[in-house]
Chains A and B, each alone.
Chain A
Amino acid sequence: MADRGMATGGRGLTEGDVADTAPDWTDAGAARGRTSHASRARRFVADAARTTWHDASLWGVRAKRDAAAAQVPDWETLREDAASTKRDALARLPELWRRFEERASAAGAQVHWARDAREHNEIVARLLRDRHVSRVVKSKSMLTEECGLNPFLEARGIEVVDTDLGERIVQLRHEPPSHIVMPAIHLRRQEVGALFAREMGSAPGLEDPDALTAVARRDLRGRFLAAEAGITGVNFAVAESGAIVVVTNEGNADLGTALPPLHIACVGLEKIVPETRDLAPLLRLLARSATGQAITTYTSHFRGPRPLPGSELHVVVVDNGRSRLLARPDFEEALACIRCGACLNTCPVYRRSGGHSYATTVPGPIGSVLAPARDPGAHADLPRACSLCGSCSEVCPVKVPLHRQLLAWRGVLADEGHVPRHRRAALAFLSALMLRPTTYHVLARVARSLARRLPAPILDRLAAPWTRTRALPPIPAQSFREQMRARRRRREQEHRP
């Protein structure tokens, strides 16, 4: 595929690399190659037809979200409720996690604590190794993606099968998900058909989504039945009851936990809510914001292992930079995110640059807020990959002020020196110029008269990339101030008796 080169995430690395470095942010592409968002986006937009289609598909999801929100009369109150629940929880995480640990343990679950990705991966690997597990089915979990769990386990001889259809597709393509809810949103049906023909032996040329899904269903059903353990993420952990809640549409997290005896659930520190009743507003918002559904097909509440001999439930609670983010009053609200993906679907930059252009586990507006907190050097350009249109903040079900945080990051990153030298020089020049009006006016006049004399093709080249899809407006002979002054003079003459 032409876009194969975009696979810059954790899965693009060799297994050994990831296993040995256990990056706390699995994006290896940005950290190593020092490629920019703009250069990665350029690769995506080179295929204009795909860009247009990608843009339209995501806008379609956004439209479904709007329709679903309109069906709920108290939508804005729900957002207030959910936003205040998550902020309340963030304000007392130690107390809530202590209570969760106590209640979950009482229900028979075992709770583990991991400071970073490496500890998380080691805990999971140890649980599997101790039980001689070699076949694992995994449902969608951005946290395990962030921790690089798959390559870590594979390097230790454990087969990990991603079971969400979109995740399975990108796993077989050895690339990271490009969206947190729709991992294969960047791919066309023909690409999926070719992949399945190669990997699952389906008929070449098969491209009907129904038929392709049936092929994957058959293949994965066997893997569910053969699995010795299931790994899931967690959408919400409830302190009051020690329960964890996992949502899917496909039923893959459910099959993966209903069949094998061992269930390992991996959860980030930010996922906890105080009370069971807090789930109502959050779940009413989540699927509507994500895909425009009133609710997902499956919303499973686990409290302890299955009542069968040999069944176990392990909950691995992971920090991996979250407590660090919590200590930053300017950005801690990003921890309220419930990973619905609405901000991605509405973002004009995400829609047209594709998820892989962010080179982070979580792309889009929320990813651009989270990533610089982990590695400012590698992701300093993400907060600038934004037009500050504010649409992300408008659709966010938990009211994370995303565009404000993106703007705030630009300031913080500039203060910390994470601005390219040419940009810093240009800004220094501009600010010097703005402080000297006379110099500014003289230079502007020179620039205007030069621009009016230059042939259009040369002028266009100078103004690139702005002119790639647009024409420059005609350059006026006079500046705005001069035009206004002339106008005032004319008026005064007209009114003179």
Chain B
Amino acid sequence: MSGARDAIFAALEAARSVRVAARVRAPSPALPADPVAMLRERVAQAGGRLQALTRPGSLDEVEWPAPLDTLHHVYSAHPALASRGVGLATTDVHALAALELCVLRAELAVVESGAVWHVPRSPGERAAALLAEHLVVVVPDSGLVATLHGVYERIRLDRIAFGWLLCGPSKTADIEQALVLGAHGPRSFRLVLEPD
């Protein structure tokens, strides 16, 4: 289809406007006075919950969406909690469909929106974060940024194959604008702040 490619570039060159647009750049705001309070509010607005831990390296304080000992299929990227159940060794992402809980570690959390920036360690981890009923994301205290500007200043998009911003449980309002949590992905979302 190089014919199409050439034709498109020719059309774009012909249509090229001579005007040069002056670029305006919005500033990257600093963190608010109480970033955790704002983050808590925005995570809640997105249908999730925020929990700030007091001790590093342990998930004992986490209020899990269901008692841990009742869960049979868990994927965990955090060293303080072991994965268990089906499919975790396989490269077939479909085997993860029975996951009840997925625990991720993410680099950054955006105070203004409640979103986290996460780069999956494997395609399996990405699928796990979507197929699990409940999602818990652990972010270090030092990973708070005010807005998305802070995210894009810190990450290198040209070095990864995939990365995403996650904010709250999957949701829809496609039936009469009624908000429903748990559309296709997780039904619940917890953001856990871990001291460095």
Contacts and interface: CB of A to CB of B under 8 A. Distances in A.
Interface of A: 57, 60-61, 72-74, 77-78, 80-81, 83-85, 87-88, 90-94, 97-98, 103, 107-108, 112-115, 119, 123, 163-166, 169, 182-185, 187-189, 192, 209-210, 212-214, 217, 220-221, 224-225, 238, 240-243, 249-252, 254-255, 258-259, 269, 276-277, 279-281, 283-284, 291, 293-308, 311, 317, 319, 323-324, 326-327, 329, 332
Given A115-B4, A295-B113, A323 B11 contact: yes
Contacts of B131: 255
Interface string B145-188: 00111011101011011111111111111111110101111100
B152 A277 contact: yes
Interface centre among B12, B112, B149 (most CB of A within 10 A): B12
A97 B1 contact: no
Nearest to B17: A91
Interface in B113-156: 113-115, 122-123, 126-127, 130-131, 147-149, 151-153, 155
B165 to A, nearest CB: 4
Contact of A81 (B1, B25, B178): B25
11 contacts: A77-B24, A81-B25, A92-B16, A115-B8, A192-B175, A209-B180, A212-B175, A241-B157, A269-B12, A297-B185, A329-B17
Contacts of B16: 91-94
Contacts of B152: 276-277, 279-280
Interface centre among A189, A250, A327 (most CB of B within 10 A): A250
Interface stretch (B52-60, B63-71, B89-97, B99-107): B89-97
A60 B179 CA distance: 13
Interface centre among B114, B122, B176, B178 (most CB of A within 10 A): B176
A192 B172 CA distance: 14
Interface residues of B, number: 76
Contact of B183 (A85, A123, A251, A294): A251
Contacts of A93: 12, 16
Contact of A60 (B7, B11, B166, B177): B177
B82 interface: no
Given A210-B180, A252-B184, A303-B160, A297 B26 contact: no
B48 to A, nearest CB: 9
A483 B187 CA distance: 70
Contact of A119 (B1, B114, B161, B184): B1
Interface in B29-52: 29, 42, 45-46
Contacts of B29: 73-74
B79 interface: no
A252 B182 CA distance: 11
Contact of A112 (B1, B28, B113, B176): B1
A92 B16 CA distance: 7
A61 B179 CA distance: 12
**What are the nearest 4 A-B pairs in CB distance?**
A251-B185, A250-B183, A166-B174, A294-B113
B164 A326 contact: no
A57 B15 contact: no
A189 B180 CA distance: 13
Nearest to B176: A189
Contacts of A279: 148, 152
B24 A84 contact: yes
B8 A165 contact: no
Contacts, number: 260
Given A114-B1, A323-B8, 17 more contacts: A84-B22, A90-B21, A119-B1, A217-B183, A241-B157, A250-B172, A258-B123, A293-B46, A295-B165, A297-B169, A297-B170, A298-B164, A298-B166, A302-B162, A304-B161, A323-B14, A327-B11
B163 A188 contact: no
Contacts of A165: 172, 174-175, 183
A154 B74 CA distance: 39
B167 to A, nearest CB: 5
B167 A295 contact: yes
A41 B172 CA distance: 28
Given A74-B27, A259-B94, A303-B158, A113 B127 contact: no
Contact of A323 (B12, B28, B158, B164): B12
B157 A301 contact: yes
A113 B8 contact: yes
B26 A78 contact: yes
Contact of A220 (B130, B180, B182, B184): B184
Given A94-B16, A119-B1, A123-B1, A296 B157 contact: no
B11 to A, nearest CB: 4
B113 A189 contact: no
Given A74-B29, A299-B164, A182 B8 contact: no
A34 to B, nearest CB: 30
Given A97-B9, A103-B158, A319-B11, A254 B130 contact: yes
Contacts of B94: 225, 259
Given A90-B17, A93-B12, A300 B176 contact: no
B8 A255 contact: no
Interface centre among A87, A182, A249 (most CB of B within 10 A): A249
B24 A80 contact: yes
B13 interface: yes
A80 B23 CA distance: 9
A280 B151 contact: yes
A95 B27 CA distance: 27
B177 A57 contact: yes
B184 A61 contact: no
A119 to B, nearest CB: 6
A325 B60 CA distance: 59
